[in-house]
Amino acid sequence: MAVAERVGDADMGDLRDNIGFDVRPRFCPLAMLPHHLELLAPARDADIGIEAVNHGADAVYIGGPSFGARTSADNSVADIARLAAYAHRFNSRIFVTLNTILRDDELEPARKLAWQLYDAGVDALIVQDMGLLEIDLPPIQLHASTQTDIRTPEKARFLQDAGLSQIVLARELTLQQIAAIDAALGPKDAPGRAILEFFVHGALCVAYSGQCFISHAHTGRSANRGDCSQACRLPYEVKDSQGRIVAHDKHVLSMKDNNQSNNLREIIDAGVRSFKIEGRYKDMAYVKNITAHYRVLLDEILEERPELARASSGECTFHFQPDPDQNFNREFTDYFVQGRKEDIGAFDTPKNPGRPIGYVTATGPNFVELQVDDADTVIHNGDGLCYLDLQKELVGLQINRAEAVNRKGLWRVFPKDPMDGFKDLRKGVQVNRNRDMDWVRGLERKSAERHIGAWLRLDETAEGLTLTVTDEDGHSGSASLPGTPQDAKDPSQAEAKLRENLSRLGDTLFQPLDVALNLRGPRFVPASQLNALRREAVERLETARAAAWHRLPRAKPVEPPVSYPEDTLTYLANVFNHKARDFYAKHGVKVIAAAYESHEEEGEVSLMITKHCVRFSLSLCPKQAKGVTGVQGTVRAEPMQLINGKEKLTLRFDCKPCEMHVVGKIKRSVMNAVPASPVTFYRTRPTTNA
């Protein structure tokens, strides 16, 4: 006989009394509860997503086969179904990005894809285009993409009232602004209350998300459609209003990488419940390492604050020490969370500068001698080193072979490339390591295990033995062995051997928390029978877990439809199809312009809006000059110019909200480009270029 069930609330007290230890079930709720903390990890593909779950992700976001706002990060529905099936074993959830703006002719394919993803077991769709809310989508949760540009309480409340269950806030917000948005959403336990999501790690787009059009204006590649050309990572010459050069060949729009490791407690207190890691282009090692890093930090907080709980099941064991500095990064910043700071930019290089490791003592015809700062440091074959040349450009140096010269930290390394290609490499130059092959190889192996705690109880009845396995979520599976068990020949060892054998859960999802024996005396059970009993009970428990899985419900929009915070929308609203236009009209908007990609803005407009200010970063802000003798009043927030080759952009400064606008116009070649096939999208004016 075998039984699979979920232990109900009324049964839990009896179960505690009978098995002699405390069972604290974590039932899967009908909605993510206000005290749940969700670690949300990225996945370029399903295999990376599975490792994100193994390394502690409560949820994973991944791109589908199309419309995912990341070119070259697409996945088949079958692969996503495989990932969802694996994640749901731990009550982790899978979100799929459907977050490009859509043409009219793409709405039907997007609708069909949404239903396919729903059938594949996906838990939520991440969307930008409000036109999707006007078509026949499956009853699946909708989350607001970062591209929806949520910076105000009014915008956040509107999206909640429109039926979005989770909303990711702009990366530029301060703790006070996050708290104000949280307050605007109403009581945390109110039906339909949206979950606040916030980016805690990864690359930073300098523009407000969804408010960058430089790529499309210059190349025809739209960031809102997943094909950004990354103009923000280019070097620029910066000129003031009088034509004077104030910065030369600097990456003044390139930000350091986001790292909120030290702010998690304050971010929680501000109202955030989902902690998002950027990186759908990142490799396996990055996702393993950064997910594990934040899993450790959040678990520490959960230990401190028992009123909070993780949003999925199980605990992780790591076979490495998580360390964000080991992965590609442009150095770190916590951006604006604690207020505006001067050192948020990676102006010298958008590449990975790595960690200081030592300095050059000599160079040879095919080698470099290095004195490492720490004599215990080991340089490995395949390591990546780098240094800054005299122009402050980062030069990479991949090691083909490394040899220790002595035990005092002197190394001779043989680069993969010829020595004459390494500009300004000379004695005294500081060298950093930006790839540690020993670290990389370690993460290529199995680096984590995730198990769900379970209690085991062996009962002797009139019919024989019954083994019941109950997991931390309150699910239960039982199996029976008929017949009268044998008396143990060695009573002193019988109980210990039974516990030891029952605890061998091996490669299953579960790890034993305790084993209770409810027997009429010392018993002996052959190992083969006990193993079969244990396997069957665990299989039944897994069946019970699978049967209990359910998708969180779609939030219902407020009726009648609430009004949008504004009655006029410019191209910045990214309205690209007629269904999106209908959505905003239904919510009271009177004037609705077409998206920038509709090519109706032929003159100069804001191609990028940023909280980052070049003037402030170059110490030329009037607010910085205020009160400085001889400076106050001489520095004004006049426009500046960015120049990269033939590309010229104007910087205009809106000092009241403390924002910068990068102004330019669409290239004629982009404006006149003829699409490869007929397309239709929302326009407000007649055109001859359709």
What sign does the CA torsion over 594, 599, 605, 607 have? positive
CA torsion, ordered 129, 131, 135, 137, to nearest 10 deg: 20
Query: Token pair of 267, please?
Result: 């971010």
Is residue 138 pLDDT above 80, yes or no? Answer: yes
User: 369 by DSSP, 3-state: which?
Assistant: strand
pLDDT at residue 268 above 90?
A: yes
- Checking if the pLDDT of 169 tops 70, the result is yes
CA–CA distances in Å: residue 83 to residues 77, 442, 445, 491: 10, 24, 20, 47
Strand, coil or helix: 460? strand
pLDDT at 275: 98
The Cα–Cα gap between 309 and 327 comes to 29
Q: How confident is the model at residue 624 (pLDDT cuts 50, 70, 90)?
A: confident
Q: Which residue has the tokens 């800054």?
A: 388
CA dihedral 153, 157, 158, 163 (to 10 degrees): 150
State how far the Cα of 312 lies from the Cα of 545, in Å rounded to an integer: 13
- What value does the mean pLDDT take over residues 380-400? 94
Distance between CA atoms of 615 and 612, rounded to whole angstroms?
9
369 within 8 A of 361, measured Cβ to Cβ:
yes
* Strands 640-644 vs 647-654: parallel, antiparallel or unpaired: antiparallel
Tokens representing 679? 């397309």
pLDDT, tens only, 538-551: 999 999 999 999 99
> Tens of pLDDT along 295-312?
999 999 999 999 999 999
DSSP at 377? -
Q: Is residue 301 within 8 Å of residue 267, measured between CB atoms? A: no
pLDDT digits (tens, 9 = 90+) for 100-111: 999 999 999 999
Look up residue 550 and give its DSSP letter. -
Q: Quote the pLDDT of residue 20.
A: 40
**Max Cα separation, the chain?**
98
As a whole number, mean pLDDT of residues 361-367 equals 96
- C-beta separation of 224 from 574 below 8 A: yes
Query: Helix, strand or coil for residue 256?
Result: coil
pLDDT at 177: 98
What local confidence, expressed as pLDDT, does residue 548 receive? 93
Is 29 a residue whose pLDDT tops 70? no
Q: What percentage of the chain has pLDDT greater than the value 70?
A: 92
- What are the start-end ranges of the E strands in 91-194? 93-98, 124-127, 141-144, 166-168
Residues 436, 383 contacting (CB under 8 angstroms): yes
Q: Taking 60 as the threshold, does the pLDDT of residue 12 lie above it?
A: no
Cβ atoms of 552 and 31 within 8 Å: the answer is yes
Please give, one letter per residue, the 3-state secondary structure of 622-663: HHHHCCCCCCCCCCCCCCEEEEECCEEEEEEEECCCCEEEEE
Q: What is the pLDDT of residue 626?
A: 60
Mean pLDDT for 630-638 is 56
Region 28-46 average pLDDT: 86
How many Å apart are CA 381 and CA 415, to the nearest integer? 10
Kindly report which listed range (286-295, 357-366, 496-505, 665-674) carries the lowest average pLDDT score. 665-674
Which of 486-490, 595-599, 679-683 has maximum average pLDDT?
Answer: 595-599
Question: What's the rounded Cα separation, in Å, for the pair 337 and 177?
Answer: 9
Q: What is the pLDDT of residue 659?
A: 96
- Residue 18 pLDDT > 50, yes or no? no
For residues 456-483, average pLDDT:
96
Predicted pLDDT at 332? 97
* pLDDT greater than 80 at residue 498: yes
**pLDDT at site 70:** 73
Lowest mean pLDDT among 170-174, 450-454, 616-620: 616-620
Note the helical H segments in 151-206: 153-161, 175-184
Query: Which pLDDT score is estimated for 622?
Result: 85
Query: Does residue 191 contact residue 155 with C-beta atoms inside 8 Å?
Result: no
Identify the pLDDT of residue 504. 96
Checking if the pLDDT of 407 tops 50, the result is yes
675: pLDDT strictly greater than 90: no
Please tell me the predicted confidence (pLDDT) of residue 397. Answer: 94
Confidence grade of residue 32 (pLDDT, cut at 50, 70, 90): confident
Instruction: Give the residue from 287, 267, 269 showing the smallest Cα distance to 278.
Output: 287
How much is the pLDDT for 632?
Answer: 44
Q: Tell me: pLDDT of 16 over 60.
A: no
Mean pLDDT of 367-389: 96
What mean pLDDT, rounded, does the chain reach?
A: 92
139-160 confidence digits (pLDDT tens): 999 999 999 999 999 999 999 9
22 or 60, greater pLDDT: 60
Q: Please give the average per-residue pLDDT across 109-116, as a whole number.
A: 97
Q: Residue type for 31, please?
A: A
- Using a pLDDT cut of 90, give the percent of the chain over it: 87
Q: What is the pLDDT of residue 636?
A: 62
Mention every residue, 6+ apart, whose C-beta is less than 8 A from residue 199: 146, 168, 171, 258, 260, 276, 277, 278
- 207 band by pLDDT with thresholds 50, 70 and 90: very high
User: Quick one: which H or E segment has residue 580?
Assistant: helix 578-586
pLDDT above 90: residue 232: yes
pLDDT at 391: 87
d(CA 234, CA 643) in angstroms, rounded, equals: 10
What pLDDT sits at residue 392?
Answer: 85
| Distance, CA of 189 to CA of 168 (rounded, Å) | 19
- 243-258 pLDDT tens trace: 999 999 999 999 999 9
Residue 506 has pLDDT above 70, yes or no: yes
Q: How far is CA 310 from CA 80, 292, 458, 514, in A?
A: 23, 14, 30, 22
Residues 6+ away with beta carbon under 8 Å from 299: 56, 310, 315
pLDDT beyond 50 at 10: no
How high is the pLDDT of residue 190? 93
Pair 474, 7: CB distance under 8 Å: yes
Residue 495's pLDDT is: 93
